[in-house]
Structure 1
């Protein structure tokens, strides 16, 4: 039972890391001073959670991210998801 719980945790963690790396290029980030890496990682996770909570548009995380960059109304819709959590 304990091993299964640990594997499940790491499976979820690896999936989140993969998503962050693919959609936000996390591994390519050159920010390395003071608290900046942790702060940016937190913002990325918040953005990923908000994008995943937004359900009116059934698209990939990458497509939702692009749409939010080009459409202020959609960006506000995603940001509202942060307030509802």
Structure 2
């Protein structure tokens, strides 16, 4: 796969999700995407990432 032509999600497609099945409320790729977007927007920890996800919920839902 050419790194310049790969989509954002393709970069993370081979990541294994270490969580147990019953504790999965969200897809790992969604968590990664929200975390990256939040950090780019200035989030500095998981609490700020969660706040970003909640604040941008409607916009994120459109994807």
Please, what TM-score do these two structures have when normalized by structure 1?
0.35
TM-score, structure 2 length as denominator? 0.40
The structure richer in helix per residue is 1
